Amino acid sequence: MRFATKLMGAAVALSMGMAVSGTAQAQTFVNVLTGGTSGVYYPLGVALSQIYGKSIAGSKTSVQATKASVENLNLLEAGKGEIGFTLGDALSQAWTGVADAGYAKPLQKLRGVAGIYPNYIQIIAANSSGIKSLADLKGKRISVGAPKSGTELNARAILAAAGLTYADFAKVEYLAFGESVDLMKNRQLDATLQSAGLGVASIKDLATSVDITVVPVPAEVVAKIGDAAYQPSLIPAGTYKGQDAPMPTAAINNFLVTHSGVSDDVAYGMTKNLFENLDGMVSAHAAAKDIKLEKALAGMPVPLHPGAEKYYREKGLVK
């Protein structure tokens, strides 16, 4: 009898162990691909990861700092992440496979989750450089973002529309936001172009150490880009220390993207829990105030993931 009891106990323990093992194997991994730690994508990605960790059953979440848009999209295509942030122009170029933008072939596994908030092209110069306009950038030292990042693609477009090429500068650096700011503080750069949400930490940091000028990008220059992803906009007065007037610039929408290998249930959960926890996103960065459900599908350049589409059907955005 005692032997039978022990045997039954061993069987129960074994079955419990198998159940635990099965649960572990069924765990859902959600890796959020962001950008540099001094940008806007990163704090929003951390918030998103925390939201998913609490709301998607059985999930194990992580956050990966990257070079942002182009790297994120290539990682998603390779299945090395479940959701990532990207600029709209980088996303449309990835879908069609623009080699010069960093895509060796069309990234056809990409699937849309949501349009989120706009990036603003923010060209910041040290007051001591004398730069007041785009034309004044000629012959100066500038950082244009990491090579073939979304920011650098934006830099190419804006500068070309203004009649400038990289050959027109005394020096061109391909650096992340924080590194660019460090060089400006040390007077090794005259200007930095950063494509980010308003109030990005890197520029706020710079403005506390150096007197800055926000360089205007006039609407006529934006129009010359010839890409509907770029729209004229304004950086409001007071966004940064020493910026007393609103400045015209270009804005480009950001998107959250996944890939076709992510299950419908997980993609549904990622979409639903983004919009049901926007307070947590806004707490991470004020740029998230612009994330609106009614704007989620505007300008989406890739097919929606079926899981995301299910959520939008429930909300009446997809018929």
The whole-number pLDDT of residue 148 equals 78
Average pLDDT over residues 170-184: 96
Q: Give the range among 19-23, 29-33, 83-87 with minimum mean pLDDT.
A: 19-23
Q: How far apart are CA 284 and CA 287, in angstroms?
A: 9
The whole-number pLDDT of residue 146 equals 86
Q: Among positive and negative, which fits the CA dihedral 46, 52, 54, 55?
A: positive
Query: What predicted TM-score, i.e. pTM, was given to this entire model?
Result: 0.84
Name the pLDDT band for 150 (thresholds 50, 70, 90): confident
Q: At what angle do helices 264-275 and 306-314 cross, to 10 degrees?
A: 50
Residue 18 has pLDDT above 70, yes or no: no
The residue extents of the domains of the chain are: 29-117+253-314, 119-252
Could you tell me which residue, 64 or 23, shows the higher pLDDT? 64
The whole-number pLDDT of residue 26 equals 65
Residue 249 has pLDDT above 70, yes or no: yes
Q: Is there a contact between 179 and 206 (Cβ–Cβ < 8 Å)?
A: no
Homologous superfamily, domain 29-117+253-314: Periplasmic binding protein-like II (3.40.190.10)
pLDDT tens-place string over residues 85-95: 999 999 999 99
Name the pairing type of β-strands 59-64 and 83-87: unpaired
DSSP 24-67: HHTPEEEEEE---TTSSHHHHHHHHHHHHHHHSTTEEEEEE--S
Question: Considering only the top CATH level, what class is 119-252?
Answer: alpha beta
Q: How many CB atoms are located within 10 Å of the residue 247 CB?
A: 20
Residue 15 has pLDDT above 90, yes or no: no
119-252 shares the fold of 29-117+253-314? yes
pLDDT tens-place string over residues 91-137: 999 999 999 899 999 999 999 999 999 999 999 999 999 999 999 99
